[in-house]
Structure 1
Amino acid sequence: MRDLTFSSPDLSSFCQLDSLGLIATGQHLTARNAVIECRFTKPPEPCPSCGAYGTSRGTVIRRLAHAPYGHRPTTLLLRVRRWSCECGNFWQEDSSSAAPERAKLSHGAIRWALTAIVLDHLSVSRVAAHLGVAWHTANNAIINEGRRLLFNDPTRFDGVTVLGVDEHVWRHTRYGDRYVTVVIDLTPVRNKTGPARLLDVLDGRSKQAFKQWLQNRPKPWRDLIESIAMDGFSGFKSAAEEVLPLAQTVLDPFHVVRWACNMLDDCRRRIQQQTLGRRGHKNDPLYKLRRTLLTRIAYLSDTSKKQLARLFADERHLEVDCSWSMYQRVVAAYNEPDRRRGKAMMQELIKIVTAPDLPRELIEVKRLGKTLKNCAQSILAYFDRPGTSNGPTEAINGRLEHLRGIALGFRNLPNYIARCLLEAGGFRNQLHP
């Protein structure tokens, strides 16, 4: 730092006015705000009708909110020159280099607002307060710039071969929760070239919403889709099979393991009621080891293994023992490093739990077998397509949950969709300095 070369202070360069074609001619600083008087650096403009240079008719003032400096809202007091010509024409300087037409924010302020929203995760209210403008002024400027740079970009859907789809609640109301469906591009994750990105947010969570979105995409684009990662919702699977018959649906491992967890828990609760006639108490064997039962066997200590052995030694807990064994098989299949072997283990499990001679007392295991049989193709496809998982989709859903917390909730769906696309639509790389 001591070897730096210093130059004379220049307010125009410090406030990045030169990039707007402006030069600072004065300043007025207070404890609450800063006002910078500036003019354009370009030469006088000729008459747009006859091309002759006109007579100066003074200036008009245009005020623009600019990027804040020193934690104070900064305003550009822009003096726009006016001219008149002998042909009877009046005109004034073109100020589009400083701000869009009729805008109240300069290009620098819009860039700062986008960076604050996307990179710094500020709310629109805080951005508006820093700029010294109304909430709607800041929000409209951010949405319009996001639409120009991202939403209307025709190349945003290029190169997509792997999709992820999921739903979440975007608003809680007294009349019920309102849902949206998120469509994610998982191609960078599969190819290990970058993180997943949000492609679109659809109103509602239904087969029809996802199917309509797929049908609205061009056919050459649909033909490139190889696989779609999703949860166990049958509506998404049906929509994908009808519109993209050549694409393989992939069921996420998290949901399969969750089904096995629920199977084991349901069996444990049923046996608890049958043996003791009540819900579990803290000293009841089944209730006391409820978390141990859901732990992968490789992670169990010797003490825990002995406790499970004593638990299963009781003949009344035989059905829990069988359910626990099926659960461990599911976990082991997904944790097998060799995907071919993991697929074979899952196929063997599906064959066991769907066998016709399976004891009828294993109610929960038979119920799990029906579910696994119906989704067998999607479950086994996970082992053939490494990198295709709904995990990144769930991660983006988590970021959108955080976004709603920052904004203290949303009431307007178009605003929510726009903010989601700015937050997770791959816009960050464009804003990094």
Structure 2
Amino acid sequence: MLNSTFTEPDLTTFTGLDGLGLTAIGQYLGAAKAEILCHVTTPNPWCRTCGGEGTPRDTVTRRLAHQPFGWRPTVLVIKHRRYRCGHCQRVWREDLSRAAPERQKISRTGLAWALNGLVCQHLSVSRIAEGLGVTWNTANDAVLAEGQRLLIDDPARFSGVKVLGVDEHVWRHTRTGDKYVTVIVDLTAVRDGTGTARLLDMVPGRSKAVFKTWLAGQDDQWKQGIDVVAMDGFTGFKTAAAEELPHAVEVLDPFHVVKLGSEALDQTRQRVQRGQHGRRGRKDDPLYKCRRILTTGLSLATDKQKAKLEDLFTAPEYEPVQLVWSVYQKMVDAYRQPKPEIGRWALEQLINGVGSKVPKGLPELKKLGGTLRRRKTDILAYFDHVGSSNGPTEALNGRLEHLRGIALGFKNLTHYIARSLLETGGFRPWLHSQS
């Protein structure tokens, strides 16, 4: 650092106390924590009841957890005066509202550090509590309340939503069964190519009634602005969207369409395997050895994998598997077409063919054809609204799984929803601008 100019150390500015209305007057560095002694920068001895001037009565001490420095917990030891009004005899303390909210044990700077750590750095509440030197409950309650006030309750959070994504999510696994929530996601930035998906809300349960009730609770003007609703194959979401958003286009995303094909292929393979051997597949069985190759897109398969498929399909007993496999490959190929209009035409031809011409003895393919025919409009709508896919919603579900792993699971659904909104609600640019 050439020609650098150093000034006298300013502990107040370094620790961010000037923004809290405090001035540092001393410090103590211990092995476990650091303490900064400070007082109110601008005292206000005037009575808020009668306006008379108060006289100092005594001094009290308030301790606030502050932003850690070097991961050493830092405590603000604030000496602030109490005054007594000579006119009305009222007693009051110096105002510390700039330093911390009322009855809060963490300074505003400490809260901002904790919220940034939770949302941007993916820290656990335990790690945040350790950095602040407070208990887990104190850190959790303070951070969730600040996040709720500052970010989740922001009325602008729902503005500009044009594309909705909806999916189910398992938030807790129990011995009596999985517990679900319905996840509503904003996909507008993904479609426009300006950003990533962000979580709008999570509602307990998974059903048509859950999604319909949530939509019914939104403002009519907001609902009129929704152009597209991307979803999986669950008909409850489709019915709810059709009733509450009749003007919006419903899109069944490619992931779930291709998944329907892969499930039909796996079921056919398993049925043929049981019919031939009377048991499940084993490692030396031809069908079992090719189970991964069968669900690999042909354009991505290696020469060795293609050779294995050719050898497999030479056996006449595997013809049902080959027929369903060819349908699956055509589905994958349609979505990989560089031009949407070509992909739309190819998939429409496939749906028409599978829906009307299914050889006998292929119940899996018949079922697949019926599903594709019923959801034909939603499936083909994807090519008219490229980018309005529910894939980013699935990606958000993966991030929520990561969140559950960081926290070692959740038992409180309210905490889980709040943490999920902070984790995937698209608040990072705002938080980075505040840090």
Name the structure 1 match of 2:415.
415
Name the structure 1 match of 2:374.
374
Deviation at 1:51, TM superposition (A): 2.5
Could you tell me how far apart the structure 2 residues matched to 1:429 and 1:6 are? 32
Name the structure 2 match of 1:103.
104
Could you tell me how far apart the structure 2 residues matched to 1:345 and 1:20 are? 64
Name the structure 2 match of 1:325.
326
The question of 1:36 aligning with 2:8 is answered no
Name the structure 1 match of 2:125.
124
Deviation at 1:263, TM superposition (A): 1.2
Could you tell me how far apart the structure 2 residues matched to 1:186 and 1:29 are? 49
Deviation at 1:33, TM superposition (A): 1.2
- With 90-99 and 285-294 compared, the bigger mean Cα shift is at 285-294
TM-score norm. by structure 2 comes to 0.96
Deviation at 1:85, TM superposition (A): 2.5
Give the letter for the 2:90 counterpart.
N
Give the letter for the 2:396 counterpart.
I
Name the structure 2 match of 1:192.
193
Could you tell me how far apart the structure 1 residues matched to 2:187 and 2:267 are? 34
Give the letter for the 2:12 counterpart.
S
- With 378-387 and 317-326 compared, the bigger mean Cα shift is at 317-326
Could you tell me how far apart the structure 1 residues matched to 2:307 and 2:90 are? 97
Could you tell me how far apart the structure 2 residues matched to 1:186 and 1:33 are? 45
> Residues 303, 41 of structure 1: CA spacing in aligned structure 2 closer, same or farther, 3 A cutoff?
closer
Could you tell me how far apart the structure 1 residues matched to 2:337 and 2:198 are? 28
> Residues 372, 23 of structure 1: CA spacing in aligned structure 2 closer, same or farther, 3 A cutoff?
same
Deviations 1:191-239 (Å, cap 9, x if unpaired)? 1111111100101111111110000001111111111111111111111
Deviation at 1:285, TM superposition (A): 2.7
Deviation at 1:350, TM superposition (A): 0.6
The question of 1:57 aligning with 2:49 is answered no
State how 1:237-248 maps to structure 2 within 5 Å.
237-248=238-249
Could you tell me how far apart the structure 1 residues matched to 2:77 and 2:324 are? 74
Deviation at 1:427, TM superposition (A): 1.5
- With 32-41 and 286-295 compared, the bigger mean Cα shift is at 286-295
Give the letter for the 1:425 counterpart.
G
State how 1:25-424 maps to structure 2 within 5 Å.
25-87=25-87, 88-355=89-356, 357-424=357-424
User: Counterpart of 1:354 in 2: which secondary structure?
Assistant: helix
Deviations 1:322-356 (Å, cap 9, x if unpaired)? 1111111101111111111101111100111111x
User: Counterpart of 1:155 in 2: which secondary structure?
Assistant: helix
For structure 2, list consecutive stretches of 5 or more residues without a partner in the other structure. Answer: none
Deviations 1:19-59 (Å, cap 9, x if unpaired)? 11111111122101111110111143322233332222121
Could you tell me how far apart the structure 2 residues matched to 1:239 and 1:186 are? 18
Aligned length: 432
Deviation at 1:299, TM superposition (A): 2.4
> Residues 362, 145 of structure 1: CA spacing in aligned structure 2 closer, same or farther, 3 A cutoff?
same
Give the letter for the 1:324 counterpart.
W
Deviation at 1:258, TM superposition (A): 1.2
Q: Matched residues, percent identical?
A: 55
Name the structure 1 match of 2:10.
10
